[in-house]
């Protein structure tokens, strides 16, 4: 019976450690999300702000590229429709 209790304790301890890791990761992701939204920037260093700026510039560039591609695709579709008239 003691062996089962010991095994159960070890399993519960492992689950607790895993839960603590997941909680820390979740909090880190929440902090990152707030930073990307421009919130809670006060404690960030200049280096961290520069990294955040690079991330935002990259995301903006990707969004603009996607938008341009969609607009080009729509223009091509309209050209096809016009040529069919």
Helix or strand or coil: residue 52?
helix
From the CA atom positions of the chain, what is the Rg in Å?
25
Flag whether pLDDT at 75 surpasses 80: yes
Flag whether pLDDT at 1 surpasses 70: no
| Tally of residues, the chain | 85
3-state helix, strand, coil in the chain (%, to 5): 85, 0, 15
pLDDT digits (tens, 9 = 90+) for 22-64: 999 999 999 999 999 999 999 999 999 999 999 999 999 999 9
How does DSSP classify residue 35?
Answer: H
């Amino acid at each position: 019976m003691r062996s089962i209790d010991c095994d159960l304790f070890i399993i519960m301890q492992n689950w607790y450690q895993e839960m603590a890791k997941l909680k820390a990761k979740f909090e880190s992701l929440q902090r990152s999300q707030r930073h990307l939204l421009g919130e809670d920037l006060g404690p960030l260093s200049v280096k961290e702000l520069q990294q955040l700026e690079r991330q935002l510039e990259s995301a903006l560039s990707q969004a603009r590229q996607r938008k341009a591609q969609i607009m080009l695709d729509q223009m091509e579709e309209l050209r096809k429709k016009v040529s069919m008239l």
